Amino acid sequence: MKIFFSILLLFSLSFASDATIEVIKKVDSLPSIAVEDASVSYDQSFKMKFFKTLIADLNVLSILNVDRYYRTNNFDASNVVVENKDFNYVLRYKLFQGDNNSLNVQMILLKNNQQVLGKNYKVSNDKIHVFVSHAMAYDINEYMGESSVAWMKKKVIFAKNIAPKRTEIIISDYTLAYTHVIVSGGFNIFPKWANQEQSAFYYTSLDNKKPTLMYVDVKTGNKKSILSSDGMMVCSDVSDDAKTLLLTMAPDGQPDVFSYNVGTKRQKRITTFKGIDVNGQFIENNKIAFVSERMGYPNIFTTDVNGGSVEQLVYYGNSNSSCSANGEYIVYKARESSSAYSANTFNLHLISTKSDSIRRLTAGGVNEFPRFSKDGDAIIYIKNYQAQSSIGIIRLNHNRNFLFPLSSGRIQSMDW
């Protein structure tokens, strides 16, 4: 009996999920899927655009070996097209235009010519078709019983530099295929979702005499000013209940991490070091992680949410100047070369507060601004290469990275 239990324990330990351990899955061993378009409305270019978005989404799921060939079939056909007969799954969909130019999508998932999943979708216009594609991929992932990709349906908010001291704040889907400018004109940076529903956001306005934290309701467009500080003001993190903010402010030219209660409007200084303390992030057990140069170079430290003794969290990297946290996991940006100008590679690394292992997540270029999805399944980040910015997605449990380039401008900061 003892032997049985020790084997059981060994078995369960070896399968315990630890995101700092790399998982390498062979593409060949994944089930295959082909896609059939049965659309009746829309021109060929729109049909191809939708097909490509859907293929990209299915690839990002990382659980299927996706066939990239475009094939058509009748929606009600009893058999899949002959080229698709050896695939494990066939996804068939029909786009058709409804009242007031609404876009309707019917989808079925077939296995051995038998329907195993069926869904209908409708959006008010075809400009937002990417959200339908993301929802379809999400539903297929749910059907397959894999860990949730709810982040796929979330919106990304980012600030883009368009000229010196001029920015735009933009809301987009995670692939940047859909973009909507929500704050235009002026110099506004560091947008941050104000709650998990993404119904409002904070940002820093640098157009006033002092840097000012603004709050915008997405549905009404109403904005109000929350707080100002000399020198610097950034909303670094919002608690899960949306009631507490971690701010970086700099009264007297001294950047420190503060907590701010949205209800009582009371602020509390958490760090007091006379150099740079920034980028506070809530982690578990009422603690925060933050970036500080108290050792002579930027690195990641932790302290209690009410302040007190400070502990070093990261022991690798010459210059670790930004971080994001999710429970026990912390992802941070590290400069790998000690020379100021040699390749100047910045890579993202993942650590756990409960173990000593480090996992490098990116391999080259300037990778920064990592942000966890709320469920910790994925990390979104900015990759800057020469004059172009891209948004990157890292699927932690699948060990895969995806890049989505921004057509123009440079991303200043981002939240998910």
Partner 1 sequence: MKNVILSGVVATLLVFSGCADKEPVVDNSDLNKQVVQEVAPVQAVAADNGDMMTDAMRMAALEKELATVYFAFDKYDIVGDNTSKVSNDASVLNAQASAYGIKLEGNCDEWGSDEYNIALGLKRADAVKKALVSEGVSESRISMVSYGESNPTCSDKTKECWSQNRRVDFKLLP
- The nearest distance, CB 148 to partner 1, in angstroms, is 13
Give the binding-site size for partner 1 (rule: CB under 8 A).
Answer: 84
Instruction: Give residues 135-154 in contact with partner 1 (rule: CB under 8 A).
Output: 135, 139, 153
User: Hey, what are 75's tokens?
Assistant: 């929606």
CB 49 within 8 A of CB 24: no
Select 46 or 297, whichever has its Cβ closest to partner 1. 297
Long-range pairs, 135-140, Cβ under 8 A, ≥24: 136/54, 136/57, 136/91, 136/93, 136/105, 136/107, 137/54, 137/57, 137/58, 137/60, 137/61, 139/107, 140/58, 140/61, 140/91, 140/109
Neighbours of 36 (CB within 10 A): 23
In the complex, minimum distance from the CB of residue 11 to partner 1, in angstroms, rounded to a whole number? 36
Our finding on whether 333 is near partner 1 (CB under 8 A) is: yes
| Smaller CB separation from partner 1, 276 or 393 | 276
Q: Per CB under 8 A, does 123 bind partner 1? A: yes
CB atoms within 10 A of CB 121: 18
Beta pairing, strands 223-228 & 346-352:
unpaired
Q: Is 279 in the site for partner 1 (CB under 8 A)?
A: yes
DSSP 31: P
Interacting residue with partner 1 among 81, 128, 144, 200 (CB under 8 A): 128
Q: How many CB atoms lie within 10 A of CB 152?
A: 24
Cβ atoms 260, 247 nearer than 8 A: yes
- Binding window for partner 1 (CB under 8 A); candidates: 5-13, 79-87, 113-121, 353-361: 113-121
Residue with smaller CB distance to partner 1, 6 or 222: 222
Specify the residue, 255 or 392, whose C-beta has the smaller distance to partner 1: 255
Interactions with partner 1, residue window 175-234 (CB under 8 A): 178, 180-190, 205-211, 216, 218-221, 223, 230-232, 234
Distance CA 208, CA 321 (A): 27
Please tell me whether residue 364 binds partner 1 under the rule CB under 8 A: no
Q: Looking only at residues 250 through 269 of this chain, which bind partner 1 when binding is defined by CB under 8 A?
A: 250, 253-255
Q: Which of 151, 329, 346, 404 binds partner 1 (CB under 8 A)?
A: 346
Tell me if 25 contacts partner 1 by CB under 8 A: no
User: According to the binding rule CB under 8 A, does residue 95 interact with partner 1?
Assistant: no
Which residues, including other chains, have CB under 8 Å from residue 377's CB and lie 6 or more apart?
147, 148, 149, 151, 395, 396, 397
